[in-house]
Amino acid sequence: MSGSMRELYILILTLIAALIAAFSQYIFKRSLPKFKMNLKGILSLFKYPWLITAGLMYVVSLIIYLFALKSGELSFVYPAFASTFIFVLLIAKFSLKEHMSANQIVGLLLVFIGIFLVTMT
């Protein structure tokens, strides 16, 4: 595989990992019941199938991310994984109907520009 095809493959893997991680956060947010921060309360979370699903998605995201990290340079993969911030903001805006401030929009654009600059060098 040529260098540019390999980088594209690693970028796609990293973006998939970031997207899965973002959706797992969405599921956590939508499914999380009220619970007490003690052992009994934490263990009670295991009776919620959607929380378990979100946790498994997060693990899958981590495995994909680790594979991308193994295949590419840290200075390339980790900034691309920051796209999780972009995905989470968009999911929050459109699925949870959360308000996005002007600062968040500017921040989202800066993250996007930063990812673009780092991954295209």
- Give the least confident one: 1-5, 18-22, 74-78: 1-5
Rounded Cα distance between 13 and 18, Å, is 9
Q: Which tens digits make up the pLDDT trace of 6-49?
A: 888 999 999 999 999 999 999 998 887 777 788 888 888 888 88
Helix axes of 102-119 and 83-94: crossing angle, nearest 10 degrees = 150
Helix axes of 102-119 and 74-81: crossing angle, nearest 10 degrees = 160
Q: Kindly indicate the confidence band of residue 83, based on its pLDDT and cuts at 50, 70 and 90.
A: very high
Place of tokens 């968009």: 90
- Give me the residue spans of the domains in the chain: 3-119
**pLDDT averaged over the chain?**
90
- SS3 readout for the chain: CCHHHHHHHHHHHHHHHHHHHHHHHHHHHHHCCCCCCCHHHHHHHHHCHHHHHHHHHHHHHHHHHHHHHHHCCHHHHHHHHCHHHHHHHHHHHHCCCCCCCHHHHHHHHHHHHHHHHHHCC
